[in-house]
Amino acid sequence: MDIRKYAEQKPFTTKDGSTVRSLLDFSNAAVQKQSLAEATLPFGGETERHYHKVSEELYYLLEGTGLMEVDGEEREVGPGDAILIPPGAWHQIKAVDALRFLCCCAPPYQHDDTYFE
């Protein structure tokens, strides 16, 4: 059984500019087909617009409000919203208020699968 304590997972900055705390991924568990992380963006922060060739992503908003763009469509998002980001879809999230959200990737997130304009 793999159980990881939140406080023991060190946050890091991803290639897109968000601060992430890996909860379960290749780095800390016997993960094979998905990863789970918590991401945060400060008030006014934003990720760099990017896409993943391989990974499908799910975002689940826990705190704050933001603007989510997926392939040119932009919508306001907030707590309780779940967002699907298909592989190959350009995307970016901007924090209207400080944001905290969960990111699930399948296959697991890898820096090498992040591409920019």
CA distances from 52 to 33, 46, 94 (A): 15, 17, 18
Among the four given CATH numbers 3.10.250.10, 2.60.120.10, 2.40.70.10, 3.20.20.70, the one describing domain 12-116: 2.60.120.10
pLDDT, one tens digit per residue, over 10-58 is 999 888 888 999 999 988 999 999 999 999 999 999 999 999 999 999 9
pLDDT, one tens digit per residue, over 94-104 is 999 999 999 99
State the CB neighbour count (10 A cutoff) for residue 45.
16
pLDDT mean over 59-75: 98
Q: Flag whether the pTM goes above 0.85.
A: yes
Q: Per the structure block, which two tokens stand in for 92?
A: 């970016």
Assess contact for 55 and 107: CB atoms under 8 A: yes
Spatial separation of the C-alpha atoms in residues 87 and 108, rounded to whole Å: 12
